[in-house]
Amino acid sequence: MRKLVKVSMLMLGSFLIVQNAAAISKSEENRLVKVCEAIQSNSRLQLSKTLKNTRLSHQAIMKGLVCNGDDPISFALKNGAVKNAKYLAHRSGQDMTDSQLVLLAKVTQEQAKRKG
């Protein structure tokens, strides 16, 4: 009987957590969209200002933000925002993964071809 109660409480708790995670307010969603747009801009200044205005830390967005299904560094790289990708990696204290480094090399090559 105790096992059944513990399992029921665990299932109820996990259901409530999932339900709360899925239900964010429209204003919160707009804040997060602004951060994704700032990441995409490739402007460190714009990204810093946006993070300050939204009161989010670099570590917080690296742990939980998802932009178009990607983590912030991968999202920046896929959109050619190399400066912001490197900045986020540095400020959050995280190293880029192998796949992110490969993506960085591709983006850098494409940018070099465009320049000349």
Could you report the average pLDDT of every consecutive run of 10 residues in the chain (116 residues)? 39 43 81 93 94 91 90 89 88 75 78 76
87, part of any domain: yes
What is the number of domains present in the chain?
1
| pLDDT at residue 80, as a whole number | 87
- pLDDT value of position 48: 93
pLDDT of amino acid 82: 86
Q: Quick one: pLDDT at residue 77?
A: 87
Contact between 97 and 106 under an 8 Å Cβ cutoff? The reply is: no
pTM reported for the whole predicted model: 0.68
Q: Is residue 62 part of a domain?
A: yes
Domain span at residue 97?
28-115
Asked if residue 19 is part of any domain, the answer here is no
Helix pair angle (82-92, 44-54), 10° resolution: 50
Query: Is there a domain that residue 17 lies in?
Result: no
**Alpha helices in 1-116, H assignment, sequence order:** 2-22, 26-40, 44-54, 58-64, 72-78, 82-92, 98-115
**Is residue 2 a part of any domain in this protein?**
no
